[in-house]
Amino acid sequence: MCGNNMSAPLPAIVPAARKATAAVIFLHGLGDTGHGWSEALAGIKSPHVKYICPHAPVMPVSLNMNMSMPSWFDIIGLSPDSQEDEAGIKQAAENVKALIDQEVKNGIPSNRIVLGGFSQGGALSLYTALTTHQKLAGVVALSCWLPLRASFPQGPINGVNKDIPVLQCHGDCDPLVPLMFGSLTVEKLKSMINPANVTFKTYSGMMHSSSIEEMMDVKQFIDKHLPPVD
């Protein structure tokens, strides 16, 4: 199951109950693995959708005194003006694009794939969707922010995902990624992509975590943008 140190273990997968005609690729947060999210998604699954929850590689993280843990890229600080791991973020986005390509090879067109994630994984899913040439069905961004936001031009993007539907969710008591980050991110997103397609939901009392209410909103979004084709 586990490869060498260079490669993370194979993703946790919730297979479709029948032929998969759509997929959700969901990226976990810092220090986590794909297993917890694969269980959460199994609780809201649709029979024609395959859910793929990859595991981040283990690397030293500056924010956590260089302790090694699963991380998509290095995090140096958690304030809006913290230095960012630009090379790491860009490489991580390429790895996600390769995952999308793999599903396309498996017969699921990219416009039948929703990309999502929580916290650091949500940040990476937003960055990937805004920089890829693959047309996606939507993005689910939970308790997160937009990395390298200064690297994006002012005003609307021209890419294939300029009208992409985005569901962004945040707890109003999040001590790690404050709600303000979510609010700043949604404003930036609305300036870059069709604002009518950006939905921002907040959850009263929720900290840096998820909730049943949030997962029901995620399910509704996935079902809307990945309807059965048969």
Active site residues: 119, 174, 208
Q: In 3-state terms, what secondary structure has residue 50? A: strand
Which residue type does 129 have?
A
Look up residue 120 and give its DSSP letter. Answer: H
Task: State residue 59 phi and psi, 5-degree precision.
Answer: -150, 160
Is residue 40 within 8 Å of 210, Cβ to Cβ? yes
22-27 and 113-118 beta bridge pairing: parallel
Strand partners, 139: 115, 166
Give the integer Cα–Cα distance in Å for 149 and 146.
Answer: 6
**Closest Cα partner for 168 from 208, 192, 139, 134?**
139
Residues 131, 136, 142: CA angle, nearest 5 degrees: 80
Give the integer Cα–Cα distance in Å for 219 and 222.
Answer: 5
Give the integer Cα–Cα distance in Å for 45 and 54.
Answer: 17
Helices (H), the chain: 34-42, 86-105, 120-131, 179-192, 212-225
